[in-house]
Amino acid sequence: MGLGLPVPVVSIGLLIASNIFMTVAWYGHLKFKTAPLVTVIAVSWSIALFEYMLQVPANRIGHGHFSAAQLKTIQEVISLTVFALFSWLYLGEKIGWQHGVGFGLICLGAWFIFQDFG
Q: Cβ neighbours of residue 40 under 8 Å, at least 6 residues apart?
A: 29, 32
Asked if residue 44 lies in contact with residue 29, where contact means CB atoms within 8 angstroms, the answer is yes
Task: List the chain domain ranges.
Answer: 7-113
CA dist 26 → 39, 59, 105 (Å): 13, 21, 24
pLDDT one digit per residue (tens) for the chain, 118 residues: 557 899 999 999 999 999 999 999 999 999 999 999 999 999 999 999 999 999 999 999 999 999 999 999 999 999 999 999 999 999 999 999 999 999 999 989 999 999 988 8
